[in-house]
Amino acid sequence: MANYRIRPATPDDCADILRLIKELAKYEEMEDQVILTEKDLLEDGFGEHPFYHCLVAEVAKELQTSEGATVVGFAMYYFTYDPWIGKLLYLEDFFVMQEFRGYGMGSEILKRLSQVAVRSRCNSMHFLVAEWNKPSIEFYTKRGASDLSTEEGWRLFKIDKNYLVKMASEE
């Protein structure tokens, strides 16, 4: 399936982003913990000083879901600073709907995030993965992520700059 695009989210995407956040929470069996609203997403991500940035994966109209959605994946991230290494991109959430996995969308999103990190002169990308989420752990480790911690059932990963550069330059 090559009939999709990865693009920066716009204010009009907030309803879809919230829908995907809830789908991710359901997948993680934490559905009841989502208290965020569309209004929060709009104000926090698209104001004068956004607290997050977001990429979305969008399919063509003819591939829309049975509910009519064309936004089928997202990656929410922000920039932070590590006093030992400097700038880093923190990937807060990353999700592609189950029926759209296996078509390269996740890899393309990660490539785009790597490009953003490299352009922003980040030295690393950090994120958490649930201990039980073996498919995600494999997805990231195959792309150069290293496991930094196993405390509290979560793993903290980072992708060093050389791997970011490598992914960002892949054809």
Out of 4, 77, 103, 140, which one is annotated catalytic?
140
89 within 8 A of 113, measured Cβ to Cβ = yes
Query: Could you confirm whether 140 is annotated as catalytic?
Result: yes
54 within 8 A of 40, measured Cβ to Cβ = no
Tokens of 136: 């995600």
Three-state SS string over the chain comes to CCCEEEEECCHHHHHHHHHHHHHHHHHCCCHHHCCCCHHHHHHHHCCCCCCCEEEEEEECHHHCCCCCCCEEEEEEEEEEEECCCEEEEEEEEEEECHHHCCCCHHHHHHHHHHHHHHHCCCCEEEEEEECCCHHHHHHHHCCCCEEEECHHHEEEEEEEHHHHHHHHHCC
Active site residues: 140
